[in-house]
Amino acid sequence: MCACGQRDSTATPGAAPSTTPGPAVRVETAIAGLSHPWDVALDPAGTMITGERGGRVVARDADGRVHDVRADLGDLAVMGEGGLMSLVLDRDFAGNRTVFTCQTHRDGSTLDIRVRRWTAADDWSSMTRAGDVITGLPLNPSGRHSGCRLLQAPDSTLFVGAGDTAEPTVAQDPKVLGGKILHITTTGTPTADDFPGTPIQSLGHRNPQGLAFRPDTDQLWSTEHGPTFDDELNRLVPRANYGWDPNNGTSNYDESTPMTDTTRHPDAVLPVWTTGPTTLAISDMDFLGPQWGSWSGAVVTAALKGERLVLLRLSDDSMRTTARADVLVGQYGRLRSITRAPDGSLLITTDNGDDDKVLVVRPATTG
């Protein structure tokens, strides 16, 4: 399967540039005392919302008051990497108070991952269920490789990064929603750029946990974990295969296979950048705003195992990286999610399990 405009699969990814000095930053703690917060959002009134993997939702009002948000998560299946994961606010949140979450779900003995719609109270005292957007994403009973990143596009459609559940055949199976990037409307309908008859926009993914649009373009980008090597930064194109295929013909999940296997999948799209022979377990990503000076427009990705933010400048043609800088190395432990605020600051969640935080990271040169 191939896609018009994708990278030449016979090319090699741009070599990871040497690390250069990064921008000086200022860090403040916005919310403390959390346990595995997964995502963070900011509403138009300045209220910050985060959800813990175990099902607690927490808000910080613009005046600094922190409080719990009631939400019926009685069917949440909390297991390993699974639980309450991504959380995004609708682009028309000021008018409709709609929140979308991605979560692992249990109904008796049945397990799946689903995207759910909620309506938030005006004071963020509660969120009320308003229906499921899409259901039936596969879930490993251990919770491994559950994904699950949400991104709302400028046209209000939703992209979903779905993990491969650590099962060997999932990523390449067009009948299974795991190991894919999904593209749906807010009512769950597939979009025109998906594989026909499915919500699948691209396949061959391992565990995508970052999605973002490059500013001033229609380019969709993703980050995903490699096994013990080759975490990837990918430019996503519709109806493409990104080459993860851990199926060696047995029931084993073969993690020695290349992240982008162009031997078995010659049309697979190569990554723009990888971590090479090691893994940082990069998670979410975004792009830096003009407040970041010479790093304006650069990719910023959060690393779990690597305990840092990685900044990557892209070439004008989006085919390679031209510079890399690491910041906050080892200072706050595992970093999970990134949300860029309107003032250019980054809202970052830590994922250490003990007194986790939502951090606000700003370039030191701004007010």
Give the domain extent around 326.
25-363
Domain presence at residue 3? no
Average pLDDT over residues 227-242: 97
pLDDT at 32 over 50: yes
pTM of the model: 0.94
pLDDT confidence of residue 251: 86
pLDDT confidence of residue 18: 65
Domain presence at residue 10? no
Give the number of domains in the chain: 1
Domain presence at residue 5? no
Domain presence at residue 13? no
The separation between the first and the last C-alpha atoms of the chain, rounded to the nearest angstrom, is 49
* pLDDT tens track for 264-313: 999 999 999 999 999 999 999 999 999 999 999 999 999 999 999 999 99
Domain presence at residue 261? yes
B/e letters for 169-202, b = 16+ CB within 10 Å, e = fewer, are ebbbbeebbbbbbbbbebebebbeebbeeebbbb
The CATH number that applies at residue 296 is: 2.120.10.30
Domain presence at residue 191? yes
Domain presence at residue 2? no
Which of 189, 138, 198 has the alpha carbon at shortest distance from 168? 138
Domain presence at residue 6? no
pLDDT confidence of residue 2: 35
pLDDT confidence of residue 17: 64
